[in-house]
Amino acid sequence: MSSSGYIRYHGLLLPPIAHTMDSLEFAQNFAVEDSDVFAVTYPKSGIVHLFSVYFVATEPSNNPLSALYRLVLFLC
Protein backbone atom coordinates (compact mmCIF):
# COMPACT_ATOMS: atom_id res chain seq x y z
CA MET A 1 0.00 0.00 0.00
CA SER A 2 1.41 3.33 -0.99
CA SER A 3 1.43 6.09 1.57
CA SER A 4 1.09 8.85 -1.02
CA GLY A 5 -2.07 10.83 -0.46
CA TYR A 6 -2.51 9.58 3.10
CA ILE A 7 -1.81 11.34 6.39
CA ARG A 8 0.69 9.59 8.64
CA TYR A 9 -0.24 10.13 12.29
CA HIS A 10 1.55 8.21 15.05
CA GLY A 11 2.43 5.45 12.61
CA LEU A 12 -1.07 5.13 11.15
CA LEU A 13 -1.96 5.92 7.55
CA LEU A 14 -5.28 7.77 7.45
CA PRO A 15 -7.29 8.99 4.45
CA PRO A 16 -7.31 12.79 4.13
CA ILE A 17 -10.96 12.76 3.11
CA ALA A 18 -11.90 11.72 6.67
CA HIS A 19 -9.20 13.47 8.69
CA THR A 20 -7.01 16.53 8.76
CA MET A 21 -3.92 17.02 10.87
CA ASP A 22 -5.82 19.66 12.87
CA SER A 23 -8.71 17.29 13.61
CA LEU A 24 -6.32 14.55 14.71
CA GLU A 25 -4.45 16.93 17.01
CA PHE A 26 -7.78 18.13 18.45
CA ALA A 27 -8.86 14.54 19.15
CA GLN A 28 -5.50 13.76 20.74
CA ASN A 29 -5.75 16.76 23.07
CA PHE A 30 -9.49 16.54 23.79
CA ALA A 31 -10.30 17.08 27.45
CA VAL A 32 -13.32 15.30 28.93
CA GLU A 33 -15.33 17.28 31.47
CA ASP A 34 -17.54 16.00 34.29
CA SER A 35 -20.67 17.28 32.53
CA ASP A 36 -19.95 15.46 29.22
CA VAL A 37 -22.35 12.74 28.10
CA PHE A 38 -21.31 9.91 25.79
CA ALA A 39 -23.94 7.95 23.90
CA VAL A 40 -22.38 4.67 22.77
CA THR A 41 -24.30 2.15 20.71
CA TYR A 42 -23.84 -0.56 18.12
CA PRO A 43 -24.81 0.14 14.50
CA LYS A 44 -28.41 -0.71 13.63
CA SER A 45 -29.39 -1.09 17.28
CA GLY A 46 -31.87 1.74 17.68
CA ILE A 47 -29.69 4.84 17.51
CA VAL A 48 -32.69 6.95 16.44
CA HIS A 49 -34.53 5.95 19.60
CA LEU A 50 -31.41 6.66 21.69
CA PHE A 51 -31.22 10.15 20.20
CA SER A 52 -34.89 10.80 20.93
CA VAL A 53 -34.43 9.77 24.57
CA TYR A 54 -31.31 11.95 24.80
CA PHE A 55 -33.01 15.03 23.34
CA VAL A 56 -36.05 14.67 25.58
CA ALA A 57 -33.87 14.13 28.65
CA THR A 58 -31.68 17.16 27.96
CA GLU A 59 -34.42 19.55 26.79
CA PRO A 60 -34.49 22.52 29.18
CA SER A 61 -38.18 23.25 28.66
CA ASN A 62 -41.04 21.13 29.98
CA ASN A 63 -42.34 20.49 26.46
CA PRO A 64 -40.81 17.25 25.14
CA LEU A 65 -42.41 17.77 21.73
CA SER A 66 -40.03 20.62 20.95
CA ALA A 67 -37.08 18.26 21.39
CA LEU A 68 -38.68 15.60 19.20
CA TYR A 69 -39.41 18.22 16.55
CA ARG A 70 -35.73 19.18 16.51
CA LEU A 71 -34.82 15.50 16.27
CA VAL A 72 -37.04 15.00 13.23
CA LEU A 73 -35.42 18.00 11.56
CA PHE A 74 -31.98 16.61 12.44
CA LEU A 75 -32.75 13.24 10.86
CA CYS A 76 -34.25 14.64 7.63
Distance (Å, rounded) from C-alpha 72 to C-alpha 53? Answer: 13
Domain count, the chain: 2
Q: Are residues 75 and 39 in the same domain?
A: yes
What would the pLDDT profile of 59-69 be if each residue is shown by its tens digit? 666 655 665 65
Do 40 and 72 have their domain in common? yes
Which structural domain, as residue segments, surrounds residue 8?
A: 1-30
pTM: 0.45
Helix (H, G, I), strand (E, B) or coil at 14: strand
CA dihedral 25, 29, 30, 32 (to 10 degrees): 170
Q: What share of the chain is helix, strand, coil (3-state, %, to 5)?
A: 40, 10, 50
**pLDDT per residue as tens digits for the range 3-31:** 678 989 999 898 888 888 999 999 899 89
Domain shared by 46 and 26, yes or no: no
Helix (H) or strand (E) holding 7: strand 7-9
Identify the pLDDT of residue 46: 75
